[in-house]
């Protein structure tokens, strides 16, 4: 990331590659310049006879063009959001990391260094994300761009049409660029469709005014025809692209996260980990001031290093960040883990109680899950020494212990239930 990258950028091959990368941008600016000539000169000045209509068309055309070019320039010219220097691992620890003989040692080194950093994203094996090229701990939602040769904050993708990474710094500008480009193309298409229809109806390809005189040269009419076709073609491609990024804004997701969900330290992979609700997601990109939402100035919330998660927004308020991501597990799993720890709750949930029967329990009793098949699921067992007045014994027992089943009190042993002896031992009585 240091001198090697700088030398590579200054090499002749890298200079030629840099010039080659600007070809898509130059092409876009060339199309815009030609469309300006075709619309302003050929359509409005030379063809339109109604001056009021011409002024009306030119005013709205230039408003759309200015917003389009402004947002496009901001997307191109905004520097890439780079990771700060404090996220870089010292060379000594990098050497220890590369010399580690197993994966657990590497994970321990990375976890120790990232202990004071606000990182919660992990790799597939649970380790802190580390960039071997930049020698840094990757902040949440950041990725290494091979074209920009650096790690980019909240990287969405690298767009060749702007020759820049779409990231935290210029994502608002990129969305506005797509929106205003779509508005520009649709406006040009709708204001030139009348001339396109006239061109089709005229078998010579030359429109005639109401006075019978040609309204423009044949080449000028072809300019307007091609302007209509190109605006429609770009509008069709921009509709899907702009609609997709509006969807990503509303769910607070990047293009990379849409294809591969971020992995959280607690909760695992979750595509909706940063979803705060549509309005909050929109404000995270466009800011809280609605007056500046559609102006190409930076108003995005945050610093690109820390991002509020859905657990922070809707969590249980425990004060521990991302702990609520564990709530993505089912409630049944949480209940089973609770029962495994607290056996009292387990017994309470496992033994149904009949409300119409008296419930008497001694202090030193135990429960058995292997009851006799002839005994109902909710027996009430009473020690006659402690509850002599409460249970009217009908038979004499040798050891003064009886078992009460419903309204029937039966001696413990030996006992015949419909001719079948009971096999309840002393230590099974609760």
What are the tens digits of pLDDT across the range 18-69? Answer: 788 999 999 999 999 999 999 999 888 888 888 898 999 999 999 999 999 9
Least Cα distance to 17 among 4, 7, 8 occurs for 8
Distance CA 141, CA 128 (A): 13
Give yes or no for residue 249 having a pLDDT over 80. Answer: yes
Same domain, 56 and 104: no
Judge whether residue 300 has pLDDT over 70: yes
Q: Cα–Cα distance between 161 and 76 in angstroms, integer? A: 9
Among candidate residues 276, 292, 308, the one where a domain is terminated: 292
Q: Are the C-beta atoms of 71 and 296 separated by less than 8 Å? A: yes
Which stretch of 6-10, 176-180, 229-233, 301-305 has the lowest confidence by average pLDDT?
6-10
Same-domain check for residues 185 and 273: yes
Domain co-membership, 255 together with 393: no
Residues 121 and 223 in one domain: no
pLDDT the model gives residue 420? 45
Q: Has residue 251 been placed in a domain?
A: yes
The pLDDT value given to residue 217: 54
Assess whether 204 and 281 both reside in one domain: yes
Residue 266 and residue 365 share a domain: no
Residue 158 CA to residue 167 CA, distance in Å, equals 8
Q: Are residues 216 and 157 in the same domain?
A: no
pLDDT for the residue numbered 198: 80
CA nearest neighbour of 274 among 260, 284, 286: 284
Whether residue 288 is found in the same domain as residue 412? no
Residue 54 lies in a domain: yes
Residue that terminates a domain, selected from 130, 148, 166: 166
Work out how many domains the chain is built from and give that number: 3
The gap from C-alpha 259 to its chain's centroid, in whole angstroms, comes to 10
Burial group, residue 19, by CB count within 10 angstroms (0-12, 13-18, 19+): exposed
132 in a structural domain: yes
With respect to residue 12, please indicate whether it lies within any of the assigned structural domains.
Answer: no
Pair 176, 71: CB distance under 8 Å: yes
Q: Is 70 exceeded by the pLDDT of residue 373?
A: no
Domain boundary among 243, 276, 292: 292
Instruction: Give the mean pLDDT of 204-209.
Output: 47
pLDDT at 135 exceeding the cut of 60: yes
- Cα–Cα distances (Å) from 345 to 58, 330, 372, in that order, read 76, 19, 23
Helix, strand, coil percentages in the chain from 3-state DSSP, rounded to 5 = 50, 10, 40
pLDDT at 422 over 50: no
Q: What is the pLDDT of residue 315?
A: 58
**Cα–Cα distance between 397 and 414 in angstroms, integer?**
9
> How far is residue 281's CA from residue 287's CA, in Å, rounded to a whole number?
10
- Whether residues 40 and 141 fall in one domain: no
Q: Which of 30-34, 93-97, 306-310, 312-316: highest mean pLDDT? A: 30-34
Per-residue model confidence (pLDDT) at position 313: 65
pLDDT reported for residue 356: 40
Phi then psi for residue 382, to 5 deg, are: -125, 135
The confidence score (pLDDT) of residue 309 equals 86
Q: What is the mean pLDDT of residues 174-189?
A: 96
Answer yes or no: is 131 within a domain: yes
Most confident of 178-187, 314-323, 324-333: 178-187
266 vs 128 pLDDT, higher one: 128
pLDDT digits (tens, 9 = 90+) for 83-125: 998 899 888 888 888 888 888 888 888 888 888 889 989 998 8
In a domain, residue 48? The reply is: yes
Torsion-angle region of residue 252: left (phi > 0), alpha (psi -120 to 50) or beta?
left
- Given a cut of 80, whether residue 203 has pLDDT beyond it is no
pLDDT (0 to 100) of residue 2: 43
Task: Give me the pLDDT at residue 417, please.
Answer: 44
- Residue 375: pLDDT above 60? no
Q: Does residue 373 form part of some domain?
A: yes
d(CA 401, CA 385): 8
Q: What is the mean pLDDT of residues 332-344?
A: 33
Higher pLDDT, 374 or 10: 10
Tell whether 73 and 91 lie within a shared domain. Answer: no
What is the per-residue pLDDT for 326? 35
Choosing from 131, 145, 151, 159, which is the catalytic residue?
159
Residue 159 is a catalytic residue: yes
Q: In whole numbers, what is the pLDDT of the chain averaged over residues? A: 75
Residue in this structure with the two tokens 């809280």, named with its chain if needed: 288
Question: Locate tokens 């092409």: which residue?
Answer: 27
CB 122 within 8 A of CB 264: yes
Evaluate if residue 74 carries a pLDDT over 90: yes
Same domain for 54 and 77, yes or no, is: yes
Residue 394: pLDDT over 80: no
Please report which confidence band the pLDDT of residue 218 belongs to, taking 50, 70 and 90 as the band edges.
Answer: low
> Which is higher by pLDDT, 371 or 147?
147
Answer yes or no: are the C-beta atoms of 58 and 106 closer than 8 Å. Answer: no
Q: Identify the pLDDT of residue 404.
A: 52
Task: List the domain range (segments joined by +) for residue 412.
Answer: 349-430
- What is the mean pLDDT of the segment spanning 315-337? 37
Instruction: Answer yes or no: is 308 within a domain.
Output: no
**76 and 209 assigned to the same domain:** yes
Q: How confident is the model at residue 259 (pLDDT cuts 50, 70, 90)?
A: very high
Task: Note whether 293 and 68 are within 8 A (CB).
Answer: no
User: In the predicted model, is pLDDT for residue 72 greater than 90?
Assistant: yes
- On the question of pLDDT at 332 being above 70, the answer is no
């Amino acid at each position: 990331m240091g001198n090697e990258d700088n030398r590579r950028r200054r090499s002749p091959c890298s200079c030629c590659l840099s010039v080659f990368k600007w070809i898509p941008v130059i092409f876009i600016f060339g199309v815009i310049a030609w469309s300006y000539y075709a619309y302003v000169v050929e359509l409005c000045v030379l063809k339109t006879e109604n001056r009021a209509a011409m002024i009306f068309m030119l005013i709205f055309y230039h408003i759309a063009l200015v917003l389009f070019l402004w947002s496009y320039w901001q997307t191109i010219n905004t520097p890439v959001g780079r990771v700060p220097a404090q996220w870089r691992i010292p060379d000594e620890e990098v050497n220890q990391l590369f010399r580690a003989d197993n994966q657990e040692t590497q994970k321990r080194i990375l976890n120790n260094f990232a202990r004071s950093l606000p990182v919660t994203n992990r790799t597939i094996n649970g380790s802190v994300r580390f960039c071997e090229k930049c020698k840094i701990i990757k902040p949440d939602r950041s990725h290494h761009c091979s074209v920009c040769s650096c790690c980019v904050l909240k990287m969405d993708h690298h767009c060749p049409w702007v020759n820049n990474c779409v990231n935290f710094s210029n994502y608002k500008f990129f969305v506005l660029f797509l929106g205003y480009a779509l508005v520009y193309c649709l406006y040009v298409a709708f204001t030139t469709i009348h001339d396109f229809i006239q061109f089709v109806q005229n078998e010579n390809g030359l429109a005639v005014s109401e006075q019978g005189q040609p309204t423009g040269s044949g080449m000028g009419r072809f300019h307007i025809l091609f302007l209509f076709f190109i605006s429609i073609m770009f509008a069709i491609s921009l509709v899907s692209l702009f609609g997709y990024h509006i969807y990503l804004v509303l769910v607070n997701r990047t293009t990379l996260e849409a294809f591969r969900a971020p992995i959280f330290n607690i909760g695992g992979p979750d595509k909706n980990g940063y979803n705060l609700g549509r309005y909050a997601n929109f404000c995270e990109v466009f800011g809280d001031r609605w007056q500046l939402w559609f102006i190409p100035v930076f108003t995005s919330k945050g610093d690109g290093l820390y991002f509020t998660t859905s657990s922070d927004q809707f969590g249980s308020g425990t004060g521990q960040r991302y702990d609520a991501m564990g709530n993505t597990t089912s409630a049944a799993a949480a209940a089973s883990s609770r029962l495994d720890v607290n056996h009292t709750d387990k017994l309470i949930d496992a033994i149904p109680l009949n409300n119409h029967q008296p419930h008497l329990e001694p202090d030193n009793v135990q429960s058995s899950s292997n009851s006799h098949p002839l005994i109902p699921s909710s027996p009430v067992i009473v020690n006659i020494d402690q509850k002599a007045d409460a249970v009217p014994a009908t038979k004499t027992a040798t050891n003064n212990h009886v078992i009460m089943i419903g309204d029937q009190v039966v001696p413990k042993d030996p006992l015949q239930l419909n001719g079948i002896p009971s096999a309840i031992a002393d230590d099974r009585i609760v």
